[in-house]
Amino acid sequence: MRKLINPQETCGTKLPFLLKALGRSAEERQLLERYTRQLDQQENRLEAVQRELAGKTREHDRTSQELARLIGEVVFEVTDSGRR
């Protein structure tokens, strides 16, 4: 997951080197197009994962707040019923 979230660790150095190494033959242009498509797909996937992570983080925060509220109510009820 970390590799997906931070592609700069590998792509930032490896990809430009590979792209520069490609010549201009038809086969090398096909490779370049394939690499470009794959990179585009990976970037799209990364964006989707980042959106999903942000949504899950918001959901976690909301449920944590709700849990804290419910625990507070239970503690209050136990404490309050002990006074009767």
Residues 14-72 have pLDDT tens digits of 777 777 777 788 998 898 899 889 999 999 999 999 999 999 999 999 999 999 999 98
Is a pLDDT exceeding 70 seen at residue 9?
A: no
The whole-model pTM stands at 0.61
> According to the model, what pLDDT value does residue 7 have?
55
Domain membership of residue 27 as a residue range: 2-82
> According to the model, what pLDDT value does residue 48 have?
97
12-45 burial, b for 16+ CB within 10 Å, e for fewer? eeeeeeeeeeeeeeeeeeebeeeeeeeeeeeeee
Provide the number of structural domains found in the chain: 1
